[in-house]
Amino acid sequence: MTTRRSFIKSTTAATAAVGLAASMPAAMTACAPKIVRCGLIGAKGMGFADLKAFLGQPDTECVAICDVDQRVLDARISDTEKLQGKKPKGYEDYRQLIADPEVDAVIIGTPDHWHCLPFVEACKAGKAIYCEKPLGNTIEEINIMEAAANKYNTVVQIGQWQRSDPHWRDAVDFVRSGKLGKIRTVRTWSYQGWMGSIPVKPDREAPEGVDYDFWLGPAKERPFNPNRFHFDFRWFWDYAGGLMTDWGVHIIDYGLFGMQVKAPKSVMAMGGKFAYPEDAAETPDTLQAIYEFEDFTMLWDHGIGIDGGYYGRTHGVGFVGNNGTLVVDRSGWEVIPERKKDQDLMERVELQKGTGKGLEYHMENFLDGVRDNRRDLNCSIDIAANTARVAHLGNIALKTGRRLYWDSEKSQFLNDDEANQHLVPSYRSPWELPTV
């Protein structure tokens, strides 16, 4: 993994090389760093955060932005011009951006239900892809996206940026050292007090400048409602999977990574709209999902509107071993020893602080992959696809209300036709689920 020290060293060397190259013949400057030009699809929230991280790396440029909200598009074009001193082109249709020959890499920052179509299109067009998490909004979409990336040898990085954050990886190294003893369970959780109730609002006309039909895309046709638009789309099943797939793919991912496992044998879940039963959201504000693996269990637990997470942390992963528990979140990691007869069974590890630079490291890793045509990135397509599937399994278990047994080889539930109905989306005409 690239470290901040190696990054500074490489960029310092690159800066010095620029001055030297000015006095060299053209043949001697053929190895100058390639400028990677990107196009951004979906520019409102994390999409623009991703773009800023992209432009924060050397030898990068944004040549195009696409959004179905004209106000957002105009604002982001202006914002980007200020960042790089050059105005990108604006598109209203993602297919035009993908077809643009100036675009080397596509950043997909759309709502979840709009990941699959542009992703597959970009694979076919030979573009590198940085896509926001979760990979897809259904398991079949995830399977198709993974197949497309592998068929076209696409360089892909998915926005689970904790995969590039050094302290998270250091925590995993400790977990795998064996010092915790036998790990019997893994706790993963997200309690988000700043996220509150979604008050009921009436349907109305879409704002001027919004191509709402295009925003809906393959999702079910519905009247415009401000609760379903921009940030709050994630609380409606048509477009996303609630906190499970919003924060869950970050946190569950490290539970899987630390334990070096992929698919669970079974899953069950309980929860609902217990805190805000009358508000507008569809996805649960309270949820616990239990995943069964060969010799341990993994718990996902989330709560919206409160901060009462485990170990005094609003989010994190707890690897519970016989000798002690390692707890890691975005601030750092520590080890809490088990005590028997007033003695610690292992040495306590005080908080090892994080850098707060995970997204920057993640984008650096992506650009290294683009320049070297290397696919083994920190959150490659196979990593992201597996984690997203596991998160969706928890949501499907909640919807069916029973324990489900998963066949990872066939990508379906065992002897459960009802549960399998949740695997494949129904796309609204004229949009069609892509084929590979």
Residues 14-25: what's their mean pLDDT? Answer: 41
Residues 273-300: what's their mean pLDDT? Answer: 98
pLDDT for res 33: 65
**pLDDT at 18 > cutoff 60:** no
**pLDDT at 62 > cutoff 60:** yes
Confidence tier at 63 by pLDDT (50, 70, 90): very high
CA dist., res. 49 & res. 159, Å (int):
11
**pLDDT at 106 > cutoff 90:** yes
CA dist., res. 415 & res. 353, Å (int):
46
Cα–Cα nearest to 394, from 91, 183, 188, 112: 188
Confidence tier at 25 by pLDDT (50, 70, 90): very low
pLDDT for res 34: 85
pLDDT for res 66: 98
Confidence tier at 29 by pLDDT (50, 70, 90): very low
Assign 38 to helix, strand or coil: strand
For residues 354-384, b (16+ Cβ closer than 10 Å) or e, as one string?
A: beebbbbbbbbbbbbbbeeeebebbbbbebb
Instruction: For the full predicted model, state whether its pTM sits above 0.95.
Output: no
Largest CA distance in the chain: 75
User: What's the mean pLDDT when you consider all of the chain?
Assistant: 93
Please write the tens of the pLDDT for every residue from 149-181. Answer: 999 999 999 999 999 999 999 999 999 999 999
Residues 380-404: what's their mean pLDDT? Answer: 98
Residue 334 φ then ψ, to 5°:
-150, 165
**pLDDT at 32 > cutoff 70:** no
Looking at 306-431, list the stretches that DSSP marks H as alpha helix, in order from N- to C-terminal side: 358-372, 381-400, 417-420
CA pseudo-torsion sign 118, 122, 127, 133: positive
Please write the tens of the pLDDT for every residue from 341-390. Answer: 889 999 999 999 999 999 999 999 999 999 999 999 999 999 999 999 99
Contact 98, 127 (CB under 8 A): yes
Query: Residue 212's Cα: distance from chain center in Å?
Result: 25
Least confident of 12-16, 236-240, 311-315, 430-434: 12-16
CA dist., res. 402 & res. 414, Å (int):
13
How crowded is residue 240: how many other Cβ atoms within 10 Å of its Cβ?
Answer: 21
Residues 29-46: what's their mean pLDDT? Answer: 84
Residues 284-287: contacts with CB under 8 Å, at least 24 apart: 284/242, 284/243, 284/398, 287/242, 287/243, 287/244, 287/394, 287/398
Residues 287-295: what's their mean pLDDT? Answer: 98
Q: Read out DSSP for 186-227?
A: EEEEEEETT----------PPPTTB-HHHHHTTSPP----GG
Contact 50, 159 (CB under 8 A): yes
Cα–Cα nearest to 107, from 55, 148, 151: 55
